[in-house]
């Protein structure tokens, strides 16, 4: 596609008054193609090589609360930032050069700064947690993946107890989540679970684009004692809360399940309809006969063998002809994979020796668990898709 074709397609998309999520992603893709035409290969490599410095700068700024000060003040100079944070004025200006050049902060004059929408996002709980989670926890093992793969003869990492994370941290047979949930790692635990709240980014919640009512409630009217939905290992409950608030007129119970230490977290104010039940998905599924068993970003944490252990407990609790398993995760296309999904896959390899799956891999896995896949539904953009399954 040449420059003229790209500009023509961009003008059509920009003129759309009702820009959908799919169109928004398509527009971004065209812009990237335009940048690829204009950028020289050597410049692309230079930016790639220096990109860790950009991330490092954002992490230092997070620690100094620079983003918070800039948002709070509205307009502030380097001298005022130095006085507020206790950091050296020259250092502040060096950091802000990177932040303004990368679009995280705006310049309002010489050594004077104002916030933009990215600055404000970086002051949010989930925004700050994302920076901390990836830099403080995941970067160490990511940096050693080349060494790890060389050491293993470039085998695909599949052992959650002996992967890149264990190699980097010197752990012996300890999976990532066991490490994370140690009592001495309270800060890391909070950081990761806060990040999990915002890992959807700005992409629409699945209940906003998937035909939930048509699939699950069209021919079934639940009663107040029926379990409508079980969020299996649902963390702090943000996804279940969004579901409940979207379908307030649906009668029934809503159950959030996770380990006790996660459920005891009071970070979120959940809807009163949600009840919490502690569980360990390696052992059993304590709630039987629910209409929906929902699992977001669970299966991508484990290899097929471990997934089948989890699914065995879920299927044992499902009612044939009534219950559905709903998996929200990336559905990797066989060709033309979006960058976000591909990068998520690298993070699964990094921390968990796991992977994102293609549609064929999802169908194979769920079939092995005694389930029939009703459908794999790609998202309206580059986010997570929905896989719906029921007992054979």
The two beta strands, 371-377 and 112-114, are: unpaired
Residue with tokens 């800039």: 70
Domain residue extents for the chain: 3-122, 125-197, 206-391
In this structure, the number of other CB atoms found within 10 A of the CB of residue 337 comes to 16
181-185 contacts, C-beta under 8 A, 24 or more apart: 181/259, 181/261
- Which of 11-15, 63-67, 182-186, 281-285 has the lowest average pLDDT? 11-15
pLDDT at 6 > cutoff 80: no
Handedness of CA 282, 365, 298, 177 (dihedral sign): positive
What pLDDT is recorded for position 9?
66
What pTM does this model have? 0.89
Q: For the chain, what is the mean pLDDT?
A: 93
**Mean pLDDT, rounded, for 22-49:** 85
Q: Give me the CATH topology for the region 3-122.
A: Arc Repressor Mutant, subunit A (1.10.10)
CA dist 122 and 377 (Å) reads 31
CA dist 19 and 169 (Å) reads 45
Bridge partners, residue 389, by sequence: 325, 373
pLDDT at 246 > cutoff 90: yes
> Which H or E run includes 48?
helix 41-64
**Mean pLDDT, rounded, for 268-273:** 91
Catalytic residue among 189, 193, 238, 300: 300
The pLDDT confidence band at residue 86, using thresholds 50, 70 and 90, is very high
Query: Which residue in 21, 42, 95, 106 sits closest to 70, CA to CA?
Result: 106
Residue 137 DSSP label: I
What pLDDT is recorded for position 30?
80
Level-2 CATH architecture, domain 206-391 = 3-Layer(aba) Sandwich (3.40)
pLDDT at 14 > cutoff 70: no
Query: Which residue in 293, 313, 292, 311 sits closest to 302, CA to CA?
Result: 311
What pLDDT is recorded for position 7?
67
Identify whether 193 is a catalytic site residue: no
- Which of 20-24, 183-187, 252-256 has the lowest average pLDDT? 20-24
């Amino acid at each position: 596609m040449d420059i003229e074709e790209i500009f023509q397609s961009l003008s059509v998309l920009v003129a759309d008054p009702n820009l959908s999520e799919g169109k928004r992603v398509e527009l971004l893709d065209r812009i990237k193609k335009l940048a690829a035409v204009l950028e020289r290969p050597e410049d692309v490599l230079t930016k790639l090589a220096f990109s860790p410095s950009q991330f490092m700068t954002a992490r230092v700024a997070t620690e100094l609360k620079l983003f918070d000060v800039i948002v709070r003040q509205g307009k502030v100079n380097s001298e005022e930032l130095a006085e507020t944070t206790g950091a050296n004025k020259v250092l502040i200006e060096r950091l802000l050069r990177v932040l303004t050049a990368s679009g995280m902060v705006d310049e309002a004059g010489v050594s004077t700064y104002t916030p933009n929408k990215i600055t404000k996002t970086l002051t949010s709980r989930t925004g700050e947690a994302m920076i901390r989670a990836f830099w403080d926890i995941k970067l160490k093992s990511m940096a050693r993946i080349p060494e790890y793969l060389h050491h293993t003869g470039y085998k695909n990492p599949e052992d959650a107890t002996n992967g890149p994370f264990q190699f980097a941290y010197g752990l012996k047979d300890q999976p990532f989540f066991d490490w994370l949930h140690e009592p001495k790692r309270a800060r890391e635990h909070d950081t990761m679970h806060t990040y999990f709240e915002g890992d959807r980014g700005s992409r629409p919640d699945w209940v906003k684009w998937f035909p939930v009512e048509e699939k699950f409630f069209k021919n079934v009217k639940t009663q107040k004692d029926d379990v409508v939905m079980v969020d299996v290992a649902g963390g702090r409950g943000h996804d279940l809360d969004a579901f409940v608030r979207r379908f307030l007129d649906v009668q029934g119970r809503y159950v959030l399940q996770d380990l006790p230490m996660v459920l005891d977290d009071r970070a979120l104010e959940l809807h009163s309809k949600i009840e919490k039940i502690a569980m360990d998905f390696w052992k059993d599924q304590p709630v039987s006969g629910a209409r929906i068993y929902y699992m977001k970003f669970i299966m991508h944490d484990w290899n097929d063998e471990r997934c089948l252990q989890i699914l065995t407990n879920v299927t044992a609790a499902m009612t044939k002809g009534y219950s559905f398993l709903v998996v929200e995760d990336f559905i990797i296309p066989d060709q033309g994979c979006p960058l976000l999904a591909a990068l998520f896959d690298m993070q699964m390899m990094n921390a968990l020796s796991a992977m994102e799956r293609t549609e064929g891999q999802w169908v194979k896995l769920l079939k092995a668990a005694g389930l029939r896949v009703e459908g794999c539904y790609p998202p309206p953009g580059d986010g997570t898709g929905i896989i719906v399954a029921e007992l054979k």
